[in-house]
């Protein structure tokens, strides 16, 4: 049955000459979860993911991905790992169907290519050449190529960069469907709302170190952070106060106003708020 962890990293280190990209990084990703890796450009997240994928060597530490060291990849291990890069390559003269069938031939037990095309929402584009696809459709094709081998673990690198809001929401549902089918997913993203919508846990990397791993709602103690309560006075001005007990403050305001509090809002720090605080000057 293997380990309950899809990814296990202890003491990971990677340097490029005198520049240390990753230092003493520990990370676990559970089987079946969606895990988002966050961090500013240059923080080390791409290096970390490429080491996990088996495309980059490491200088130190222990790494296990699906119970195997990615530094010594085998054909069987690679068949269990799906990778969706920011760009798959140039296949302009092939149709969607031709390309997915071609990639399926790389794997010992691939999924049905036609069913994969339908699953990613490209059935009506199966005979269309890839250069004629929209940006969102090309990203769906990238995912089709990444999952046609029935991977147990899928790496997604900035999956919705350049998407319009509607295309992003449609793509999110595709990721949820893959996760519901049992695929472990590790994604990197600069969109904090995307991480909050998709991931069971997030990890924040800054300056080559893992700052914290937590559920999005608990990262940086969001759930217990003071809330900001705002309301409108009888004169029409907006007042606000920070409170560790916002329910009590709202009750006090309700008594003061004799019922409904005009313009009432209660907000806690967003994921973006705590993320920016955690990475500090690393951005």
CATH assignment of the domain containing 73: 3.40.50.300
User: 186, 29 in Cβ contact below 8 A?
Assistant: yes
Q: Output the six-digit token pair for 265.
A: 């809002």
Q: Residues 102, 134: one domain? A: yes
Residues of the chain with pLDDT under 70: 1-2, 86-89, 281-283
At a CB cut-off of 8 Å and minimum separation 6, what does 30 contact? 4, 5, 6, 184
Indicate the residue among 183, 199, 220 that finishes a domain.
220
CA dihedral 194, 199, 202, 205 (to 10 degrees): -50
Structural domain that includes position 88: 5-220
Q: What is the pLDDT at residue 89?
A: 61
Q: Residues 110, 27: one domain? A: yes
Q: What is the pLDDT at residue 21?
A: 92
Q: Which residue has the tokens 């080390």?
A: 44
Distance CA 93, CA 102 (A): 13
Q: Residues 216, 230: one domain? A: no
Q: Residues 230, 184: one domain? A: no
Q: What is the pLDDT at residue 196?
A: 93
Q: Flag whether 233 is in a domain.
A: yes
Q: Residues 210, 239: one domain? A: no
Q: What is the pLDDT at residue 1?
A: 43
Q: Residues 261, 128: one domain? A: no
DSSP code string of 266-279: EE---HHHHHHHHH
Beta-bridge partner residues of 227? 243
Q: Residues 159, 82: one domain? A: yes
Q: What is the pLDDT at residue 2?
A: 56
Polymer length of the chain: 283
Q: Residues 174, 98: one domain? A: yes
């Amino acid at each position: 049955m293997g380990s309950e962890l899809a990814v296990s990293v202890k003491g990971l280190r990677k340097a490029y000459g005198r520049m240390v990209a990753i230092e003493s990084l520990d990370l676990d990703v559970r089987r079946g979860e969606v895990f988002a890796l966050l961090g500013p450009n240059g923080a080390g997240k791409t290096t970390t993911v490429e080491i996990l994928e088996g495309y980059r060597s490491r200088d130190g530490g222990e790494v296990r991905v699906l119970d195997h060291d990615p530094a010594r990849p085998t054909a069987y291990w690679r068949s269990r790992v799906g990778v969706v890069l920011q760009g798959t390559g140039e296949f302009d003269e092939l149709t969607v169907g031709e390309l997915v069938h071609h990639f399926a031939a790389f794997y010992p037990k691939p999924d049905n290519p036609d069913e994969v095309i339908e699953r990613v929402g490209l059935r009506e584009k199966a005979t269309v050449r890839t250069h004629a696809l929209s940006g969102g459709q090309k990203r769906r094709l990238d995912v089709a190529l990444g999952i046609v081998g029935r991977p147990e673990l899928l790496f997604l690198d900035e999956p919705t960069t350049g998407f319009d809001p509607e295309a992003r929401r449609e793509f999110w549902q595709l990721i949820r469907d893959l996760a519901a089918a049992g695929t472990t997913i590790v994604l990197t993203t600069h969109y904090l709302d995307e991480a909050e919508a998709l991931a069971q846990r997030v990890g924040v990397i800054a300056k080559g170190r893992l700052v914290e791993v937590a559920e999005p709602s608990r990262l940086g103690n969001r759930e217990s952070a003071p809330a900001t309560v705002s309301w409108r006075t009888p004169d029409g001005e907006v007042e606000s106060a920070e409170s560790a007990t916002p329910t009590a403050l709202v009750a006090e305001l309700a008594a003061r106003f004799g019922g409904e509090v005009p313009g009432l809002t209660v907000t806690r720090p967003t994921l973006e708020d705590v993320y920016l605080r955690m990475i500090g000057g690393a951005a």
